[in-house]
Amino acid sequence: MKTTELKLARIGNSRGIRLPADLIRRHGLDDGVLLEDRGDSLVLRPKAKPKKLSWEETAREMAASDEDWSEWDCTLADGLEEIPWEPAPAGVNEPAATYRAKRKARATKSK
């Protein structure tokens, strides 16, 4: 185990340490650090990343839970599944519906 001496840097009314970049990468500390105070020592651990579920796993977990989803049944008649969806062309960074509305408005003005 290698020991590295780090200096405390003043940060407002607090003090902080700077960790070397290679240690951050090697130990996966990019998303944050958990500090554990063990009385006579401090332990830094990587912040646990939440596991992302696929749509299938999410549906399976929702079905297995004992939650009541009946309030969502009213959305079945909203007709959204019947609206044709066109993805926006590459490079357009806005919701497709907004893009279509703007495109339609420009087409109407040019006539």
CA distance 90 to 99: 12
This prediction's pTM: 0.41
State yes or no: pLDDT of 40 exceeds 90.
yes
Mean local confidence (pLDDT), 67-83 = 82
* Vertex 72 angle, CA 66 and 76, to 5°: 130
* Predicted local distance difference test score (pLDDT) of residue 41: 92
* Predicted local distance difference test score (pLDDT) of residue 39: 93
Distances in whole angstroms, Cα of residue 21 to Cα of each of 4, 25, 30, 49, 82:
13, 6, 10, 19, 51
Q: Which residues pair with 35 in a beta bridge?
A: 44
Phi, psi for 53 (deg, rounded to 5): -90, 150
- Listed in sequence order, the residues at least 6 apart from 16 whose beta carbon sits closer than 8 Å to its beta carbon are 8, 9
* Predicted local distance difference test score (pLDDT) of residue 111: 62
* Predicted local distance difference test score (pLDDT) of residue 61: 87
Of residues 90 and 58, the one with the higher pLDDT is: 58
Binned at pLDDT 50, 70 and 90, residue 14 comes out as very high
Mean local confidence (pLDDT), 53-80 = 85
CA 106 to chain centre: 35
Domains of the chain plus CATH, in order, are 1-64 (2.10.260.10)
